[in-house]
Amino acid sequence: MTLATSTRLMGAHMSTSGGLYKSLASGLEIGCSAVQLFTASPRQWSHAPLTDEQIAGFRNAQEETGIPFTVAHDSYLINLAAPDPAILERSQGAFRKELDRVQLLGVPWLVTHMGAHLNLGVQEAIDRLVESLKMILDATEGYQSGVALETTAGQGTGLGATFEEIGQVLKGVGDHPRLGVCLDTCHIFVAGYDIRTPEAYKATWAKFDAEIGRDKLKVIHTNDAKKPLGSRVDRHEHIGQGEIGEEAFRLLVNDPTLTHVPLILETPESETMHAVNLARLKSYLEG
């Protein structure tokens, strides 16, 4: 069984329980044309190296399922802007290993949060993040896999809740073909960027274009929000059932300027509801 590719890549973050290849097999079952996965536990620092069998199994599953796009998410423990030198070094080492794994698997992008300043200076944290990214990208020169910085909700001391901060990091690193951005609809909404009406949607994307540039956008996490606009509380909700509502997602899936950008669900109750949310997204497609 294979999946015919379409012009609009849509899918979800899928479980790797039973093997990395399972994320693709399960994705195919619910109609994904794009799949996100963790290449290892997101709540541990160290992991055994991938075996040849794991790598071959994943690559074979990609070919057999016909799913054209995959993306990975890194560990939640990594902080590439950490003020503690020991944590910073550990994060840099762990992230390099994450990038090594996605390169071996043939996954084009590794999504990462931008780290946290821990109340010890935003600008200093941004500077550390820039240096971390420069070091890692330089050390992996020749890789096909790149890094996608995720927009964040502004919860706690996390960086990346404003397009300006992300733009500053991109400028600091310099124009690099393996550095891009992942936009999360829930995160930008609770960070204060409205997308609920055609006018608000257009205005938010104008801000994105001014500070980041749509050419840097590599993937969109497509999640509704449990909490209100500007609340800075990161809680995902099922598509059309949260504070964002259906209209924003209709605008998103039909936006002719974004047809090349894969949409990935990270909505709750994944085992039962990913299929429902994916079908709902597809139902918004016009024409």
The pLDDT tens digits for 57-101 are 999 999 999 999 999 999 999 999 999 999 999 999 999 999 999
Q: Within 10 Å of residue 2's Cβ, how many Cβ atoms?
A: 10
Q: Is 280 a catalytic residue?
A: no
Q: Is 194 a catalytic residue?
A: no
Q: Half-sphere exposure of 140 toward its Cβ, with a 13 Å CA cutoff? A: 27
| Cα(79)–Cα(88) distance, integer angstroms | 7
Q: Is 138 a catalytic residue?
A: no
Residue 35 has a pLDDT of: 98
Confidence of residue 238 (pLDDT cuts 50, 70, 90): very high
Token pair 């997204």 is found at: 281
Tell me the per-residue pLDDT of 39-51, one tens digit each, with 9 for 90 and over: 999 989 989 999 9
Confidence of residue 2 (pLDDT cuts 50, 70, 90): very low
Q: Is 175 a catalytic residue?
A: no
Residue 7 has a pLDDT of: 72
| Cα(212)–Cα(209) distance, integer angstroms | 5
Residue 236 has a pLDDT of: 98
Percent of the chain with pLDDT over 90: 96
Two structure tokens written together for 91: 């994060």
Give mean pLDDT, residues 199-223. Answer: 98
Residue 87 has a pLDDT of: 97
Q: Is 187 a catalytic residue?
A: yes
Catalytic residue from among 98, 150, 165, 237:
150
| Cα(97)–Cα(103) distance, integer angstroms | 10
| Cα(17)–Cα(243) distance, integer angstroms | 32
The answer to whether the beta carbons of residues 185 and 140 sit under 8 Å apart is no
The chain-wide mean pLDDT, for the chain, equals: 96
Please give the biggest Cα pair distance in the chain.
54
Catalytic residue from among 117, 128, 266, 280:
266
| Cα(27)–Cα(37) distance, integer angstroms | 10
| Cα(137)–Cα(158) distance, integer angstroms | 22
* pLDDT over threshold 70, residue 4: no
Two structure tokens written together for 54: 């794991």
| Cα(201)–Cα(206) distance, integer angstroms | 9
Q: Is 238 a catalytic residue?
A: no
Two structure tokens written together for 59: 């690559």
CATH 3.30.365.10 fits 10-283, yes or no: no
Catalytic residue from among 8, 13, 101, 221:
221
Bridge-based pairing of strands 146-150 and 179-184 is parallel
Catalytic residue from among 13, 73, 101, 128:
73
Domain boundaries, the chain: 10-283
* Nearest-10 Cα torsion for 213, 205, 261, 218: 40
The answer to whether the beta carbons of residues 39 and 74 sit under 8 Å apart is no
Reduce the DSSP state of residue 257 to 3 states and report it.
helix
Catalytic residue from among 184, 193, 238, 280:
184
Catalytic residue from among 8, 13, 101, 113:
113
Q: Is 260 a catalytic residue?
A: no
What's phi and psi for 233, nearest 5 deg?
A: -115, 120
Confidence of residue 196 (pLDDT cuts 50, 70, 90): very high
Q: Is 221 a catalytic residue?
A: yes
Q: Is 236 a catalytic residue?
A: yes
* pLDDT over threshold 50, residue 254: yes
Give mean pLDDT, residues 23-45. Answer: 96
Q: Is 74 a catalytic residue?
A: no
CB-based burial label for 155 (10 Å; 0-12, 13-18, 19+):
middle
Q: Is 113 a catalytic residue?
A: yes
Residue 5 has a pLDDT of: 42
* pLDDT over threshold 50, residue 52: yes
Tell me the per-residue pLDDT of 150-190, one tens digit each, with 9 for 90 and over: 999 999 999 999 999 999 999 999 999 999 999 999 999 99
